[in-house]
Structure 1
Amino acid sequence: MTKQLGLLLCLILTLLLLSACGTRPTTTLPSVADNADVQQLLTSAQRAGPEQAATLKLEAARLLVDDQQIDTAASILESIDKRRLPPQLGLDVASLQAKLSLQSNSPDRALGYLDFRLLPPQLTSEQVIQLNQLRAEAFAQQENYINAARELISASQMTTEQHIRQSLHTQIWSLLISASNAQLNSAAENRGNNYLDQGWFERALAIQGITDFSEQQEKLFDWQLLWEQHPAAELPPQDPNALIATELSPIQLPSAGIQRTALLLPMTGELANIASIITEGYVTAMQAAGSTDAELVLLDSTEIHTPEQLFYSARTQGANFIVGPLDRNFVNQLADYPEHPITILALNPALEGSNPPLQLDLSSDHEAHALVQKAVEMGYLNAMIIHSDTRSGQRFEQLIREEYEQRGGFISASLNFNATQSNSEQIKQLLLQDPEIARTMPNRSRSGMSVNVSHETDVIFMATEAADARLIRPMLMYHFAGAIPVMATSQVYEGNASASRDTDLNGITFVDLPWRIAEPSPTRLTLLELRDNADTDLGKLYALGADAYLISQNLPLLLTQGGILSGETGNLQLGPNRRLIRALAWAEFVNGEPQLITE
């Protein structure tokens, strides 16, 4: 019996060995018989080399994910050896594995897939950032916010792209303010921290438990004083939990009045000359007012890029009012900043924002609005436009057309005037687009003949350089259109009166800053003596600076319902979105010189 049992076991062992020799090992993949595309990809993968096979399996897994076959997709991905793949392909496989794990609330498994040791070597900086972000997401799902932040702090040092660093800084901050006080204290006490880690942890600890925004800002100012070289000081994160106002709240005025103003302007670079003119206008107005209490400090906007940096710099200089910035992008940043600890007067308009600063600007839409407003008030609802062949001329044409048509006006024709072409022919062809002029205009002009030419056009808007206007006005007269009112932008006037030069402009009415056409103020008289550009287009910037000073000294009046300040750039009144409305002055050329229209 024992001998027979031994023979039987020997026979079975022999059969097993023969069976093993006669078969080849195969990789078992999940059954996907119900998905032909996936089956085809997997079949092709079995015949392909390692890299191509991994690509095909990854594509198959993505199709299965789209089809909600998550477990099958995960099983296919498990069969891929990521270490021997090109960096991006290996990272793509690991990323999909990690995302599927996170979706199933398995952050530990996700971190396993994202282990650097299991991935291809020589990842690029962009790929490392991608990996850090995924690892941070996994740590955050574990509520391990400190390790999540460390991942992103590391990632932030892998790039010099400011928009990427800004995004990473905001993500870091979001994680740190989610951490508990115990977690933050423990992290800050870790002696293994580097400079970057420690700075971030102490920044978060500085505001831990503080809910009042103003108090938070105080603490962050103190932190910035100690960590001014830290990346979070140079490029502060945007607070993801900041409360955004749904409507504009009243502007808080300094309790003791404005004592020191910070001018935030570009002291270097292409706009330095503009900044210098604005500053001189401000200082001259301050001196003309005989002010002994007001003080002024200068901040270089080329070195300040965020609201946090601005308020910190102004505060350290003791300023309680800020004039600037000029840069529209910066103005828009301020418009979205939840609270301004220091009142700001920006020098460019903001887009719609939750908390815009006050805005005083010389934008062309003020003039376009004034022209249209006057025309509509006078019942002029049929117009032509003549504009210079320049960018500013085209901009004026667009602004005038848009507002005029919104208010019920009709633009029958528009001329892009080019002084190098026939002046007479250009004006004639424009006028012929008025049906009445076309019907009644004679074929040719004869010296001394009296012609009764009728017209449907109520007004001609002119947005041209002065030199072009001096060519256009005589041609309008020549082609019997001298009776049509002409309303022009300030470009028509060069700033210094000259009867001999501007006789051909007689009859044209135009809008401009009081600075250029009203009785000169002490500030303007001073600058006319000191500067030869005070009355030019560039000289309007002196007026801008002067009005910035005027506003700083009269904020309570300006912010009163219906409050109006009579300024160098116009009569100033607070308008929608905290932008100041500038009511401009009007003048008419009489005997070659502008005469102020006072009624």
Structure 2
Amino acid sequence: MLKHYLFVSFVVVLTGCTTPTERPSETGKKPRAPDQSLSTLLIRAEQAEDLAATEFRLAAAARALDLGDARQAKQILELISNPHTVESTSTDYLILAARTAVANGDAKRALSFLGDRRLQSATLTINHQTSIARTRSDAYQQTRSFVASARERIYLDRLLEDSELEENHEQIFSSLMEVPARSLATQANRAITSDVRGWLSLAALAKLHQNDPLKQLHELNKWKRAWSHHTASRSLPRSLKMLSRIVSERPSVIALLLPLQGDLSSRGQAIRDGFIAAHYEQNGSAQIIIYDTTTATATELVNRAKAQGVELIIGPLSKDAVTEIASLNLNIPVLALNRTSDNSLNPNLYQFGLAPEDEIIQVIEQVHSERLKHALVIYPDREWGSRNFAAFEQGWRAKGGNIVDSATFSNQRDYSDLVKKLLDIDSSEKRASDLRRIIGERFEFTPRRRQDIDFIFLLANPGQARGINPTLEHFYAEDIPVYATSHIYESSDSWIDAIDLDGIRFCDIPWKLTSFDTIQKKIQSTWNRADGQLAPFYAMGLDAHRLYPRLQQLKELSNERLYGATGIIRLNQNNEIERELMWARFKDGTPVSAPMSAQ
């Protein structure tokens, strides 16, 4: 009872509510939660007896969940000593506990609640059934069981009002688009019900032809004729509704603004070749005009392009040139291949870059989702290392993380002193030496490393990492996970060269970790450099071609994504392209791609 009292007192202080004087008039009457605050519900639970107390706490937990406080909802549910006295409270408790578990990121526990035999045998209302289906779908989504998640939503469809169907269809389609096209087609052929088979075949054609809007529209029209009575045909996902408009509004003249001479020429040429390869693969009808940005200012080239009837500009590549363009009065869309140096914006400027800071953000999100907190950071003693360490430090501290120590390295061959100092091995060895001197005897001794490190963030290229990673293992840090960015991996390296990188987790573009598609294979067979350091820029050229017809779609539909060679692409409210990369881990000298989820 003291525990209950202290918890209720804490809530009252937070919400600033006063204690009500009235008690529920009927002990067994279900509380009217919508009329009462969270603190009021908790206080009434303390004043009520048994069943009524349980009902008030269930209402309070539901209110906390609606307010976005899943942690408090969990605490309130833990105050209920016996929720299964009657079927009604048992059902409400199991559903609410499952919803709370999902909100706290514990999908396994949520599915356990939903699979409880008492819930399976209960008499369920329509509201119960819809809540169960939504919660189970969300739990499956968290475990990356995307088809299972969609199936729950497909079942839910027939329980919903017409006004709710559109949003449910968006959820179904979004889940299925996470699945590879080949897998979707295979599962469509195996599906037992026509509802599921129709959705799977729709998602399969959308995923398979996402890079060719005209082909996608043609296949969609065929699907609509074959599935005219399917629920998705009556209420298509919003992205598919836009297809006709996307096809009709494609630009007929496109300008590429790229550096073809000077320091950035190799990158500019790689982007050009990736773009042109995609254009010819689709038998593109648009006219492509290429401008060398080393021959004139960005402003001059934009004006020249306008005069030649260009309807869309792709480029430039350098930050300075993109910043210059952002200040112009643009009356045609520009898909820049970098971001402005001063964060300036322009309503007709779309910023698509491969900034390493984006990878830093993804590393931070991943380790935070795994509930790791204490970081050790190792980075090179140069401008690139300092800039990325600063980005990590700022982002990690904003998440509540802690950096227990950090160190820089230069062009050295032996990292023993660096690693020993970071792991505090020197102190352990000194203690052993002092003890030998005190007792006057020799004894076997294994040094101990410091124990306050949850993970190591390593900023390094493959050559540097090949020296650092084995040294960490040698000095007893083999059980500490090591995270890195894409700079750790060169796809042209042999497995012998990469064997010393085993265990390192890193994020990278799909181009380097998978056989992306037929165009990628053709590009790699044509240009040897497409497998080496220039791989991201060939991928960028390919994605620029696939991205430009979808810009308006990405802008209007905030949840829309494009599955590209540089990552899963979204457009934020500032017209900046955000990319979600793939995760991989070195095993036997080979990167093995795998989804990374919270542990």
TM-score tier, shorter chain, comes to 0.5 to 0.7
Partner of 2:307: 316
Find out whether 1:542 has 2:532 as its counterpart.
Answer: no
**Deviation per CA, 1:349-379, whole angstroms, max 9, x where unpaired?**
1233352510111111111111111111111
Deviation for aligned residue 1:407: 1.8
| Deviations 1:285-324 (CA, angstroms, capped at 9, x unpaired) | 2223x233233111222344254x3443222333211001
| 1:501 paired residue number | 497
Q: How does 1:110-509 map to 2 (within 5 A)?
A: 256-288=249-281, 290-305=282-297, 307=299, 309-338=300-329, 340-350=330-340, 351-355=342-346, 357-420=349-412, 422-432=414-424, 455-496=451-492, 498-509=494-505
AA paired with 2:254? T
Q: Letter of the 2:289 partner, please give it.
A: V
Local SS of the residue matching 1:384: strand
Mapped contact 2:415–2:468 kept (Cα < 8 A): yes
Q: Please list every run of 5 or more consecutive structure 2 residues that lacks an aligned counterpart in the other structure.
A: 1-244, 434-441
CA drift at 1:533: 1.6
Q: What's the secondary structure of 1:516's corresponding residue?
A: helix
Task: Give the 3-state SS of the residue equivalent to 1:578 in structure 2.
Answer: coil
User: What CA distance in whole angstroms lies between the structure 1 residues aligned with 2:523 and 2:276?
Assistant: 11
Hey, what's the Cα distance between the residues in 2 that align with 1:426 and 1:451?
16
Deviations 1:252-284 (A, max 9, x none): 999732222100112333322321111001111
Q: Which amino acid aligns with 1:277?
A: A
Counterpart of 1:134 in structure 2 is none
Give the SS at the match of 2:256: strand
What CA distance in whole angstroms lies between the structure 1 residues aligned with 2:264 and 2:385? 22
Query: Alignment partner for residue 576 of structure 2, among 568, 579, 585?
Result: 579
Measured after TM superposition, the shift of residue 438 of structure 1 is 5.4
**For 1:20-63, what per-residue CA distance to the aligned partner results, in whole angstroms no more than 9, with x for missing partners?**
xxxxxxxxxxxxxxxxxxxxxxxxxxxxxxxxxxxxxxxxxxxx
How many angstroms apart in 2 are the aligned matches of 1:318 and 1:390? 45
How much has 1:548 moved relative to structure 2? Answer: 0.7
Pick one of 512, 516, 519 that aligns with 2:508.
512
Q: Mean alpha-carbon deviation: is it higher for 580-589 or for 271-280?
A: 271-280
Residue type of the partner of 2:595? T
What are the Cα deviations for residues 180-206 of structure 1, in whole angstroms up to 9, with x where unaligned? xxxxxxxxxxxxxxxxxxxxxxxxxxx
Asked if the contact 1:366–1:582 (Cα under 8 Å) also holds between the matched residues in 2, the reply is: yes
Equivalent pair of 2:381/2:409 in contact (CA under 8 Å): yes
Residue pair 1:386, 1:460 contacting (<8 A) in 2 also: yes
2:279 partner amino acid: M
- For the pair 1:526 / 2:519, whether they are aligned, the reply is no
Name the amino acid aligned to 1:537.
Q
Deviation string 1:102-129 (CA, Å, 9 cap, x unpaired) is: xxxxxxxxxxxxxxxxxxxxxxxxxxxx
Listed as ranges, the gaps of 5+ residues in structure 1 are: 1-251
Secondary structure of the structure 2 residue equivalent to 1:396? helix
1:16 matched to which residue of 2? none
Change (3 A) 1:421 1:303: closer
User: Cα gap change, 1:443/1:425 in structure 2, threshold over 3 Å: closer, same or farther?
Assistant: farther
Question: Given residue 345 of structure 1, which amino acid in structure 2 is its aligned partner?
Answer: L
Kindly state the Cα deviation for residue 449 of structure 1 after the two structures are TM-superposed: 8.3
> For the Cα contact (< 8 Å) 1:332–1:353, is it kept in 2?
yes
| CA apart distance, 1:326 | 1.6
Q: Aligned with 2:528: secondary structure?
A: coil
Amino acid at match of 1:276: Q
Q: Is the Cα contact below 8 Å between 2:246 and 2:550 reproduced in 1? A: no
Asked if structure 2 preserves the Cα contact closer than 8 Å seen for 1:551 and 1:558, the reply is: no
Letter in 2 for 1:366: D
Aligned with 1:594 (options 577, 591, 594): 591
- One-letter code aligned to 1:396: N
Aligned 8 A contact 2:543 2:564 in 1: yes
Q: Per the alignment, in what secondary structure is the counterpart of residue 533 of structure 1? A: helix
Distance 2:455 2:413 in 1: 24
Whether the 8 Å contact between 1:311 and 1:342 is mirrored in structure 2 is no
Alignment equivalent of 1:569, drawn from 563, 566, 570: 566
Contact in 2 for aligned 1:440/1:454 (Cα 8 Å): no
Relative to structure 1, the CA distance from residue 365 to residue 408 in structure 2 (aligned partners, 3 Å threshold; closer, same or farther) is same
Determine helix, strand or coil for the equivalent of 1:554.
helix
2:92 is aligned to none
Cα distance in 2 for partners of 1:441, 1:576 equals 56
Q: TM-score, normalised by structure 2?
A: 0.53
Whether the 8 Å contact between 1:324 and 1:345 is mirrored in structure 2 is yes
Shift in Å, 1:389: 3.4
**Structure with larger Rg:** 1
CA deviations over 1:154-209 (Å, ceiling 9, x no partner): xxxxxxxxxxxxxxxxxxxxxxxxxxxxxxxxxxxxxxxxxxxxxxxxxxxxxxxx
Instruction: Give the number of equivalent residue pairs.
Output: 341
1:306, 1:333 within 8 Å by CA — same for their partners in 2? yes
CA contact (8 A) 2:246 2:549 kept: no
The answer to whether the Cα contact below 8 Å between 2:508 and 2:582 also exists between their aligned partners in 1 is yes
How far is the alpha carbon of 1:393 from its aligned partner?
2.5
Gap change, CA 1:452 and 1:423, over 3 Å in 2: closer
Tell me the CA shift for residue 555 of structure 1.
2.3
* Matched AA of 2:542: A
Matched-pair contact (CA < 8 Å) for 1:466–1:492:
yes
User: Does the 8 Å CA contact 1:569/1:584 hold for their aligned counterparts?
Assistant: yes
Q: Alignment identity in percent?
A: 29
In structure 1, distance between residues paired with 2:586 and 2:246: 43
- What's the CA shift for 1:580? 0.5
CA distance in 2, matches of 1:320, 1:403: 39
